[in-house]
Structure 1
């Protein structure tokens, strides 16, 4: 089977920057450009639109200066316009050597936006190409709204292509500008064009308005497209462009007849960098680069992976510089927990493992996912219960209102006798302790004194992390510590206190 080499052009820095509220600084553009060409190893990058701003001009100068010193200048492209040479002069000042000339690919756009005839448009395009050639600038041509042109004014599109076939143009770029194509149309339209002009280079530029970007990319390649335009994280106007990571994975796994030079092990790294620079967060379920896409949550899946990698596919996380995770939560089984324990270098006997599993399930009902970093805290909490349970905090109501003292109502059972008390305090936990003091006063029992109160969450956790409260107490027997664990700080302190009560009540 003959293998065809396809060019990948990344347009994150130009079309991707049209994502609402996104604007890369000059230093960010340079950093991304370097990584796209030298680490991700895309063939070309489109980095800006001509004439936008002084800041954009400086950003392009920075990139072209670096690119010229590192033999990448011909891989750096700028969107230009049919504007009697204004864009060409801008490019000359910026030091860019390849223009992507924006032209009208549908008769509807030409007639109603430019209000010109095809011959007038072609004549102006020819003048632009000749001027660019005179100044040593290579030309690629965008046929804006090409997809609707093929649907509604195909004769115009082919008249345009016939004109371009006689021009010194490197590439003709076919954008689905509004993201309206179906996969079948993507195939049919590109196939029709490639059959007529097999020796011309055609790029396909897919948008994702119907979430068909990757499907259209596949069909465009099957039809004979010579290059693709993609963006990191699928950034772009409206619903964005065909996403880089998914498209590369699909090509590598399902299209053996296609060869590309992209280094897929760098896809996740560049994705996270663009997320940081753009401020546009990657959805957790986004294929290949999302936070959860290599996380097994169901215990049965972890069990299958343990036995014969039953839930593995070709889409292995290591390909993209990632690792498989086994989530801990209410769907977890022992297999999930064992996987995480192995990574932490911990071992538990069957009885303790059952206790930890049950505790994780309980916590999972409150907190959707328990992290691997939470696990040592959970183990500590569960295995710390070396006492006979004589005291049980049955229920409580904690209130906190602006301008009013926090208050608590507590129901507690001591040696099978249940009490209910209410109290106020300087904080919710203080109010809870004051209510407990009232109960102990009735029972003529003495509470341990609180000596120290420390709270911590696992490193790198978020605001919804499990919270461990460690309280140091003192009674007539000396000092001792108890731990409580919960996603709520006050509740974790109450659990630590419940352990203390069980220790001191004989």
Structure 2
């Protein structure tokens, strides 16, 4: 069976801008318009509402100037109003040639908002369509609140569609304005309309108030609709619109009889740019574009991926310009760590891997987030601990820091099975810790090495706050040596480095 071509109209720049607190600048709109049409390859874009502001006018003018030179002008659409030609004049000045005329798709809206009869409304609409046609502006018509119109005043909707069938209209746009449709209704309403008006082009415009927008889009396509209205990241008023990325993936994977022009490999890039421009964050678990959706956390899943990709589905990250990741945490297991080691080009034997896994689990239990970039530091710390026999254990310590008082530390140390406890003050918490430690060793008639360098760093490229590494250089009997400590707390990592020094000497 030959695939049926369906148009994708992106309305991020118009309906998506109705997201609370979101507004694009003229240059941002132009940048996104170019990306949407030329890289993502959507069929059409709705970029603004007529007569909103001077800034909106300027953004439309910039986009239409570019679109005219690039041959895309007929793919640029503007929301207009039944206002006796004022929107038409605005469009002419802005250089736009396709209007999406907002009309009333339910008797409830018509009666209570416009306070007009259907005949009066249709007459006003016909006038605007004619005015547009006379100056070369093509017309698509929105039936606002169409879904409630079908539920409560279907006779009015069909009367309206009968009227539109006599007009010079390119497309009829059917919005679920309040996001109230169930998937059964989406199919039933559209199926009835498409059978009744086989020569008309119908678009479906879904909202996501019940999280049903993608399901409703699928049913609209099954019913035979010719176009879909979508937004990047599902942006839009209230709970937003049907999300572009999810719909594209669903069509490509589950609806082989539908053909769309969208290049799915550009979805993630556009998603990130829209998020950056708007400050509207993408939930980490949002399908296709969220940070976590291609991240395996459970070790059993990573192990399964090693064994014939048992936990893969058709949503391969490479399709969307992304890569699969394996999280490091208390549920990771050795398989996750192995995957990350492979990316870093590192290998460990089974015993070393077991110890590194245990350390990551310990960090996970403390709710610390570990990244791939932290791994070399963890490996260094764990393997470094194996180079000496632990005879000295820092059993406990209390670090205090109060305004107007010198920092102090109480430390309990076990040396070859014998416990010692001392208290001291210092210029900082670690200095106080070292002073208390010197008291312990002085009681045993021993001297500590001299601290000659102290450096703190986080793993390069790490985007977590899980770890910092303290590297301390000591001088003992004229020789220098270095120890490292790793912890989420800077002072604690220095204490761990010191404990290693105590065992080495």
Q: What TM-score do you get using the length of structure 2 for normalisation? A: 0.97
Instruction: Note the C-alpha offset of 1:81.
Output: 0.9
**Cα distance in 2 between the residues matched to 1:382 and 1:134:** 78
Deviations 1:88-147 (A, max 9, x none): 111111111111111111111111111111111111111111111111111111111111
SS for the counterpart of 2:304 is: helix
Contact conserved, 1:275 with 1:282, CA < 8 A, in 2? yes
Tell me what 2:227 maps to.
227
- Secondary structure of the structure 2 residue equivalent to 1:373: helix
Asked if 2 retains the 8 angstrom alpha-carbon contact of 1:330 and 1:368, the reply is no
For 1:120 and 1:292, how far apart are their aligned partners in 2?
53
Do 2:103 and 2:142's aligned partners in 1 also have CA atoms closer than 8 Å?
A: yes
Q: Compare 380-389 and 393-402 and name the one that shifted more.
A: 393-402
Q: Which residue of 2 aligns with 1:449?
A: 450
**Distance in 1 (alpha carbons) for counterparts of 2:368 and 2:219:** 39
Separation (CA, whole Å) in 2 of partners of 1:284 and 1:135: 47
Match of 1:363 in 2: 363
Distance across 2 between alignment mates of 1:91 and 1:401: 67
Runs (5+) with no aligned partner, structure 2: none
Indicate conservation of the 8 Å contact 2:368/2:466, yes or no.
Answer: no
CA distance in 2: counterparts of 1:298 and 1:153, whole angstroms: 52
**Which one is further off, 423-432 or 305-314?**
423-432
Give the match for residue 373 of structure 1. Answer: 373
Deviations 1:165-218 (A, max 9, x none): 111111111111111111111111111111111111111111111111111111
Q: Which moved more, 1:245-254 or 1:408-417?
A: 408-417
- How many aligned residue pairs are there? 504
Structure 1 pair 80/459, CA: closer, same or farther in 2 (3 Å)?
A: farther
Aligned to 1:100: 100
1:24 is displaced (CA, Å) by 1.0
Partner of 2:170: 170
Deviation for aligned residue 1:368: 4.4
Moved more, 486-495 or 224-233: 486-495
Give 2:436's aligned residue. 435
Deviation per CA, 1:10-55, whole angstroms, max 9, x where unpaired?
Answer: 0111111111111111111111110000000000011111111111
Which residue number corresponds to residue 82 of structure 1?
82
The answer as to whether partners of 2:372 and 2:462 remain within 8 angstroms in 1 is no
CA distance in 2, matches of 1:115, 1:433: 83
1:392 corresponds to: 393
1:262-273 matched pairs, under 5 angstroms: 262-273=262-273
For the 8 Å contact 1:457–1:465, the answer to whether it is kept is no
Q: 1:150 corresponds to which residue?
A: 150
- Alpha carbons 1:184, 1:219 under 8 Å: kept: yes
Q: In 2, are the aligned partners of 1:356 and 1:382 still within 8 Å (CA)?
A: yes
Secondary structure of the residue aligned to 1:485 is strand
Residue of structure 2 in register with 1:251 after alignment: 251
Give the corresponding residue for 1:41.
41
Per-residue deviation, residues 311-359 of structure 1 (Å, max 9, x unmatched)? 1111111110111111111111211111111111111111211111111
CA contact (8 A) 2:19 2:235 kept: yes
Larger deviation, residues 390-399 vs 335-344: 390-399
Q: Which moved more, 1:418-427 or 1:228-237?
A: 418-427
Which 5+ residue runs of structure 1 have no aligned equivalent? none
1:177 match: secondary structure: coil
Indicate how the Cα distance of structure 1 residues 57 and 475 shifts in structure 2: closer, same or farther if over 3 A, else same.
same
Residues 58-457 of structure 1: pairs in structure 2 closer than 5 A: 58-385=58-385, 386-457=387-458
Name the SS for the 1:28 alignment partner: helix
Instruction: Provide the C-alpha distance between the structure 1 equivalents of 2:403 and 2:60, rounded to a whole number of angstroms.
Output: 54
Deviation at 1:449, TM superposition (A): 2.0
Instruction: Indicate the SS of the match to 1:160.
Output: helix
Q: Partners of 2:442 and 2:107 in 1: how far apart?
A: 89
Cα 1:53/1:497, change in 2 over 3 Å: same
2:404 and 2:55 mapped to 1: Cα distance? 51
Contact 2:368 2:465 in 1 (8 A): no
Counterpart-to-counterpart distance in 2, 1:219 and 1:454? 61
Separation (CA, whole Å) in 2 of partners of 1:188 and 1:33: 34
SS in 2 for 1:308: coil
Q: TM-score, normalised by structure 1?
A: 0.97
Q: Deviations over 1:46-71 (max 9, x none)?
A: 11111111111111111111111111
Q: Secondary structure at the match of 2:307?
A: helix
Structure 1 residues 199 and 404: alpha-carbon distance in aligned structure 2, compared to 1, 3 A threshold: farther
Partners of 2:410 and 2:19 lie apart in 1 by 52
Structure 1's 436 and 266: CA in aligned 2 closer, same or farther, altered over 3 A? Answer: same
Tell whether the 8 Å contact from 1:473 to 1:479 is kept in structure 2 after alignment. Answer: yes
Aligned to 2:495: 494
Would the alpha carbon gap of residues 335 and 55 (structure 1) be closer, same or farther in structure 2, given more than 3 Å must change? same
- For residue 355 of structure 1, give the secondary structure of its aligned residue in structure 2: helix
Distance 1:117 1:334, change over 3 A: same
- 1:395 shift after superposition: 2.5
- C-alpha distance in 2, partners of 1:479/1:123? 93
> Given the superposition, is the C-alpha separation of residues 351 and 101 from structure 1 closer, same or farther in structure 2, using an over 3 Å criterion?
same
- Alignment correspondent of 1:6: 6
Report the CA distance shift for 1:402/1:311 in structure 2 as closer, same or farther (over 3 A).
same
CA 1:100–1:423 in structure 2 vs 1: closer, same or farther (change >3 Å)?
farther
Deviation at 1:451, TM superposition (A): 1.6
Output the CA distance in 1 between the equivalents of 2:171 and 2:148.
20
**8 A Cα contact 1:190 1:223, kept in partner:** yes
Indicate the SS of the match to 2:331. coil
Distance 1:256 1:150 in 2: 29
Alpha carbons of 1:90 and 1:430: their partners in 2 closer, same or farther (altered >3 Å)? farther
1:87: Cα distance to partner?
1.1
